[in-house]
Amino acid sequence: MQKLRNVARLLGTAAVVGAMLPGLAGAQLSITFYNSFPATAPSPTAPFAGGSVLCTASAAGSATGIVLDFSNAALVNSLCGAGASARINNGMSFGARITGSFSVASTGMYNANIDTDDGDVLTIDGVTQNSAWFTKGGGPGAVSLNLVSGTNPFTLDYFQGPCCGAFINITVGSGITVTPPTPPTTSTPEPATFALMAGGLAGVGVVARRRRSA
């Protein structure tokens, strides 16, 4: 009984710590910041050709979209650590790759509004659905997203110019929720494979015992 109480205390402490750490509790987006950005729109399936990595972060988005204001020093420092806002702000050039998922109940066309300063490319399930990789003060505005039932992994590539705003505002329409990135798939041996492995190990043990007794 005492062990159960101790476990409960540990779980409660972990929950409090998780809630206190910025960008970890309820994280829905994974972000990698780069010290520069490629001149042309990058391929989401290839490494971001934007120089060295400045930092990686997890951001708690909302069910209705993505709001990131990089001129907000407190936000940037909460994502990447104290002092990060000196390099990631509206007066510096930098790039970012953001990953997450759009989840929907049924296959179809859905509405969203994209407003970024500066460039952006949105790719969903490996298909580019919006590209505006150029310096701009906002927009491009309303877009239609072709989504399939379930989870639709997306990549949003972004760059800041270096002047004068630096933000990402994406509002998704009815029926879409922003969910965490899809974890990488790992191959798990099937039950028959486990049984074969167990049988092989048992056989090795029997041979070893026979050799010792011989």
Structurally, the chain folds into a number of domains equal to: 1
Distance from C-alpha of 116 to C-alpha of 31, rounded to nearest angstrom: 16
8 Å CB contact between 100 and 168:
no
pLDDT above 70 as % of the chain = 72
Per-residue pLDDT at 193 exceeds 80: no
CATH code of the domain in which 98 resides: 2.60.120.1560
**Token match 């798939």: residue?**
185
Q: Is 12 a member of any domain?
A: no
Q: Is 167 a member of any domain?
A: yes
Quick one: tokens of 188?
A: 């798990």
Distance from C-alpha of 97 to C-alpha of 156, rounded to nearest angstrom: 6
Q: Is 139 a member of any domain?
A: yes
Per-residue pLDDT at 24 exceeds 70: no
Beta pairing partners, 32: 56, 97
Q: Is 157 a member of any domain?
A: yes
Span 20-40, mean pLDDT?
73
pLDDT in tens, 194-211: 454 555 545 545 445 555
Quick one: tokens of 3?
A: 């062990």
Per-residue pLDDT at 33 exceeds 90: yes
pLDDT band at 107 (very low <50, low <70, confident <90, very high): very high
199 vs 173, which has greater pLDDT?
173
Per-residue pLDDT at 17 exceeds 80: no
Q: Is 208 a member of any domain?
A: no
Of the ranges 22-26, 152-156, 194-198, which one carries the lowest mean pLDDT score? 22-26
Per-residue pLDDT at 7 exceeds 70: no
Q: Which domain holds residue 69?
A: 23-187
Beta pairing partners, 158: 96, 120
pLDDT in tens, 124-153: 999 999 999 999 999 999 999 999 999 999
Name, in order, each residue with C-beta under 8 angstroms of 112's C-beta and a sequence gap of 6 or more: 65, 142, 143, 144, 145, 170, 171, 172, 173, 176
